């Protein structure tokens, strides 16, 4: 599959690499599209998006990869998600990700629901114990749900896949790479999806979903 990874972190938050090195390593690992979505709360959204966007512009000019600037709203109170997602979009984020209710962190309950209800949120990372109702809203609002390749966050992948399938919500695989051992290859991405219980057709649909998100992002960028 064409590998699109919308979930990575640089040393602008808690990753090991600069945006440029991250993109280089992702490219060598077989990635065609990479979204840089560093952790953020209310402070620093504009600065972060501006800095990541400058590096994305640089690599997009010189390398055969499509790098996209984003942020992952992380551990922000659910009541603030809509406002901060709009701030990130206005700051130039190509898309907005939200750090979902992973099983391995005390993410505030209500985060998944606030994310899938928000028209400015594109991608709900590691949604942990997502409910059928939340998945239904995600499907209606075209919020993509993540199958995570990250240790810990991946523990609910089987549940996420089952609930998303029943609700016809769209799934994507994300590396959540923070360092050298976190990168996906196209082969490993398919294995992670298969490990979540997806069959070959469903894995192919995940590839189509990534393309859908990419088209949405390109249209958004073209309108600016």
**Distance (Å, whole) CA 11 – CA 184:** 19
| 3 state DSSP class of 198 | coil
User: Per rule CB under 5 A, is residue 25 in the interface with Zn ion?
Assistant: no
Least Å from the CB of residue 74 to Zn ion: 6
Positions in 35-64 near Zn ion (CB under 5 A): none
**Distance (Å, whole) CA 190 – CA 216:** 23
Least Å from the CB of residue 166 to Zn ion: 24
User: Per rule CB under 5 A, is residue 124 in the interface with Zn ion?
Assistant: no
User: Per rule CB under 5 A, is residue 14 in the interface with Zn ion?
Assistant: yes
| Of residues 63 and 110, the one with the C-beta less far from Zn ion | 110
User: Per rule CB under 5 A, is residue 125 in the interface with Zn ion?
Assistant: yes
**Sole window of 41-49, 81-89, 92-100, 197-205 interacting with Zn ion (rule: CB under 5 A):** 92-100
Residues 6+ apart with CB under 8 A from 87: 42, 45, 46
**Distance (Å, whole) CA 3 – CA 187:** 9
Q: Which residues in this chain contact Zn ion in the complex, by CB under 5 A? A: 9, 14, 99, 125
């Amino acid at each position: 599959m064409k590998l699109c990874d919308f979930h990575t972190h640089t040393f602008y938050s808690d990753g090991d690499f600069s945006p440029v090195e991250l993109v280089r390593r992702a490219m060598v690992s077989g990635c065609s599209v990479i979204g840089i979505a560093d952790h953020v709360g209310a402070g620093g959204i504009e600065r972060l998006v501006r800095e990541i966007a400058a590096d994305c512009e640089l690599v997009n000019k010189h390398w055969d990869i499509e790098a996209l600037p984003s942020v992952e709203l992380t551990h922000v109170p659910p009541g603030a998600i809509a406002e901060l997602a709009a701030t990130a979009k206005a700051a130039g984020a190509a898309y907005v990700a939200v750090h979902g209710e992973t099983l391995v962190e005390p993410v505030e309950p209500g985060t998944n629901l606030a994310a899938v209800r928000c028209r400015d949120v594109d991608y709900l990372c590691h949604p942990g114990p997502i409910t059928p109702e939340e998945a239904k809203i995600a499907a209606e609002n075209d919020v993509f749900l993540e199958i995570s390749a990250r240790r810990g966050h991946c523990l609910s992948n089987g549940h996420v896949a089952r609930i998303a399938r029943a609700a016809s919500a769209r799934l994507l695989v994300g590396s959540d790479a923070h360092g050298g051992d976190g990168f996906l290859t196209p082969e490993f991405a398919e294995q992670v999806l298969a490990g979540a219980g997806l069959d070959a057709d469903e894995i192919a649909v995940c590839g189509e979903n990534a393309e859908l998100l990419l088209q949405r992002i390109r249209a958004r960028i073209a309108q600016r």
